[in-house]
Amino acid sequence: MTVIPFNAPEIAGAELEYVQRALASGHTSSGGPFSKQAGRMLAEATGAKEVLLTTSCTAALELSAMLLDLGPDDTVVVPSFTFTSSALAFARQGAKILFCDIEPETLGLDPSHLAELLDDSVRAVVLVHYAGIACDVDGVRRVLADRPDVVIVEDAAHGLYGAYHGEPLGGLGRYSSLSFHETKNFTCGEGGALLLHDDADVNRARVLYDKGTDRQAFFLGQVDKYSWRDTGSSFGISDLLAACLTAQLEQADSIQQRRRRVFTGYAEALADPAAELGVRLPVVPDACDPAWHLFYVLLPSAHQRPLVMKELQEQGIRTTFHYVPLHTSDGGRRFSARPTSCPVSSDISARLVRLPFYNTLTPEQVDRVATGLIDAVRSTS
Ligand SMILES: Cc1ncc(COP(=O)(O)O)c(C=O)c1O
């Protein structure tokens, strides 16, 4: 029996050649030619005014949190159903978190719960586009219509090359962040990017990014020496990793097309049996062009999940789940401003199973997973 892994990163194009070129060039620290090239490609894809390649999406979110100058009386609204980093970055800068529930269609932030949570302490709202399908951004914008002081921070870790009403994901916040972790559509092992959409943020962000110094202004000839100016850290990635990322981004069309085929393959193979068995598949609202990041199913009941996953494991099919709701986690309780109720997050996170999803997954493997899943759901019902 051949095993179908959950994820299988691929060498998609010129990664090895570009890494060799970066090594030979001698410029292996951050800000080198490949960082600039990848930055240009990401700016083109998202409309960003400035792209700062970072060591991770977590680091990009931390940089956003620093830009917000948060204090202990400030709160940031974060969906409970997300990765820890979406909240951690703001807690680390001293803010308190208000966990918001998700709406069941896109599994993104629920605007009606946001409206209930919104008070004078709220400085920012974090949007996550789960699976690369945009959350209800219009709904959030309506709720925030008379709160221009509240900053939208977009955690677009899953979203690169997706769109919402034709607007690119990664282009919908004042600050947006991307991930190039091994599990993402485009990877350099570990990596990320902060995308800035407001010119007013660019100079300060460059300082925070570069150890609190105005070194980038110095390289641009804007100052005659550089020195310590502000808080910050060392956020940049090596040009070796940027070389790898550049090669991946060059293959964007091919990677996205192949991932789209995997997604639609699952959706087609599962549509009828899922309807019969009460299994819910991802919903793609008309406004959304997905980024084809992952495929999940929602089982009819939470108690079935370990049984279904075990049965698939025995068939050589590796699956996983997402996320332990943050409002129920130790860290979530410790860093939240007050307890909030997020029943949809709790329900969905207990029933969700992610299926194997990677660029080179073949149609035959997709069918094998789909058949295996349906057999497992039937036999555990
Ligand atoms: C929604 C979301 N945000 C942020 C991250 C963190 O990304 P990174 O590993 O690049 O820090 C993840 C990781 O999977 C994620 O799913």
Predicted confidence at residue 78, as pLDDT, reads: 98
What average pLDDT does the chain have?
Answer: 97
Question: What pLDDT digit, counting tens, does each position of 284-321 carry?
Answer: 999 999 999 999 999 999 999 999 999 999 999 999 99
> Is there a single domain that holds both residue 286 and residue 151?
no
Which CATH number covers residue 266? 3.90.1150.10
> Is there a single domain that holds both residue 95 and residue 164?
yes
Ligand 1 center to 177 CA (angstroms): 9
H-helix or E-strand spanning residue 59: helix 57-67
Measured from CB, residues less than 6 Å from any atom of ligand 1 are 56-58, 82-83, 85-86, 128, 155, 157-158, 179, 181, 192
Q: What are phi and psi of 129, to 5 degrees?
A: -105, 90
| Six token digits for residue 101 | 């529930």
Q: What percentage of the chain carries pLDDT values higher than 90?
A: 99
Which CATH number covers residue 45? 3.40.640.10
> Is there a single domain that holds both residue 290 and residue 371?
yes
> Is there a single domain that holds both residue 218 and residue 277?
no
> Is there a single domain that holds both residue 334 and residue 238?
no
Q: Please tell me the total number of residues recorded for the chain in this structure.
A: 381
CA torsion through residues 10, 269, 260, 155, sign: negative
The whole-number average pLDDT for the span 328-343 is 98
Residue at a domain's end among 185, 216, 251: 251
Predicted confidence at residue 207, as pLDDT, reads: 98
The whole-number average pLDDT for the span 154-167 is 98
> Is there a single domain that holds both residue 158 and residue 51?
yes
CA proximity to 192, closest of 235, 132, 251: 235
Residue at a domain's end among 196, 226, 251: 251
Predicted confidence at residue 283, as pLDDT, reads: 98
Helix (H, G, I), strand (E, B) or coil at 91: helix
> Is there a single domain that holds both residue 138 and residue 76?
yes
Predicted confidence at residue 100, as pLDDT, reads: 98
CA proximity to 34, closest of 251, 291, 256, 250: 250
> Is there a single domain that holds both residue 158 and residue 117?
yes
Is residue 87 within 8 Å of 61, Cβ to Cβ?
Answer: no
> Is there a single domain that holds both residue 178 and residue 246?
yes
> Is there a single domain that holds both residue 291 and residue 323?
yes
Residue 282 per-residue DSSP state: P
Predicted confidence at residue 267, as pLDDT, reads: 98
| pLDDT for residue 110 is more than 90 | yes
Predicted confidence at residue 312, as pLDDT, reads: 98
Predicted confidence at residue 5, as pLDDT, reads: 98
Q: How many structural domains does the chain have?
A: 2
Predicted confidence at residue 1, as pLDDT, reads: 85
Ligand 1 center to 239 CA (angstroms): 21
Helix (H, G, I), strand (E, B) or coil at 5: coil
- Dist CA 85 CA 241 (whole Å): 21
Look at residue 266 and tell me if it is in a domain. Answer: yes
Ligand 1 center to 372 CA (angstroms): 29
Predicted confidence at residue 194, as pLDDT, reads: 98
Helix (H, G, I), strand (E, B) or coil at 4: strand
What is the domain range of residue 305? 253-380
Look at residue 1 and tell me if it is in a domain. Answer: no
Ligand 1 pocket test target in 7, 64, 85, 241 with most atoms within 8 Å of CB:
85
Residue at a domain's end among 207, 223, 251: 251
The whole-number average pLDDT for the span 199-215 is 97
| pLDDT for residue 163 is more than 90 | yes
Q: What are phi and psi of 258, to 5 degrees?
A: -70, -40
- Under the banding of pLDDT at 50, 70 and 90, the label for residue 52 is very high
Question: What pLDDT digit, counting tens, does each position of 231-285 carry?
Answer: 999 999 999 999 999 999 999 999 999 999 999 999 999 999 999 999 999 999 9
The string over 35-68, giving b where at least 16 C-beta atoms fall within 10 Å of a residue's C-beta and e elsewhere, is bebbbebbbebbebebbbbbbbbbbbbbbbbbbb
> Is there a single domain that holds both residue 187 and residue 290?
no
| pLDDT for residue 41 is more than 90 | yes
- Under the banding of pLDDT at 50, 70 and 90, the label for residue 162 is very high
